[in-house]
A = this chain, B = another copy of it.
């Protein structure tokens, strides 16, 4: 910066101002400075800026998986909401593993983010302490935790899956199965299973029609294998709901390969409204949860909270429920 200053015939302080959006520098001086910057190929060292200004200029977001359009849409929503703020979004993928979430959060916090967004409401005690002690706003997404850390933007996975099963009941299905993952890594998946179990109990439907295997992320292949197992164990099942559209798609193609008519012999419903659900043949019934809306709401809330914090205030914790919607297509 000193080199640039010398070349432009000003002080380093003036260069610093010229490189800020709102720096009070005359147009003539700024032009001279920008020319020097360009000639020298100078790139501001934000690391030093962060240290002296105590503003890192970024927020961290932790999502379970990059390669899941639900979460990457959420990330795009956050990016869009933060566009005007000047804050950069730094993403980390936890691979559905709490321990990795913890390590990643700590790595982010060492770089002093001005806010942090996490997925779900189920975190290790250490992570909760870390986030609460970080002194920056926190938003939990994709869930409605009973004991939130601070802000929340999400929906009830239990409620959404429960509503789907009730709808299938209305449509006349009487022996409804569930395909999902084993293990508790995917806490939203576990909540959806709980919603399924609550619904079949309420409706007096036969219990136990559950195939749970494999760890998150549950993929298309899982759905294929789980479907085969389901029909082997419970040949009378007339509809299956799946933890996500990906496994629902795998289940459906398995039916097609085996010559089981969908929805004639067996109905299938997914969760998440992925592109494959809209495009496949027949098209999948599913639950749409507006992932980009979650991201935009979370980003906007975090930004308001950061603005409050910069002004020395503190935004009271907010809860934003996001609506979901059952989308009936051709597989039911």
A133 to B42, CA, bound (A): 9
Binds B, one of A10-18, A26-34, A105-113, A147-155: A105-113
Which chain B residues border A256 with CB–CB below 8 Å?
A: 281
State whether B43 touches A109 (Cβ < 8 A).
yes
A48-B46 contact, Cβ under 8 Å, with A107-B88, A219-B275: no
Which A residues fall within an 8 A CB radius of B? 41, 43-48, 50-51, 56, 65-69, 72-73, 75, 88, 90-91, 106-107, 109-112, 129-130, 133-134, 219-221, 224, 246, 249-250, 253, 256-257, 275-276, 278-281
A220 to B47, CA, bound (A): 42
Which chain B residues border A246 with CB–CB below 8 Å?
A: 275
State whether B47 touches A275 (Cβ < 8 A).
no
Closest 7 CB pairs of A and B: A67-B72, A46-B110, A220-B279, A41-B133, A66-B72, A253-B281, A256-B281
Which chain B residues border A56 with CB–CB below 8 Å?
A: 47
A66 to B295, CA, bound (A): 15
A50 to B278, CA, bound (A): 47
> A48's closest neighbor in chain B, by CB?
B51
Which chain B residues border A276 with CB–CB below 8 Å?
A: 220, 249, 276
State whether B130 touches A43 (Cβ < 8 A).
yes
Which chain B residues border A257 with CB–CB below 8 Å?
A: 281
Pairs across A and B, CB under 8 Å, 13 listed: A43-B106, A43-B130, A43-B133, A45-B110, A47-B50, A47-B56, A48-B51, A65-B72, A67-B73, A220-B279, A221-B279, A224-B279, A276-B276
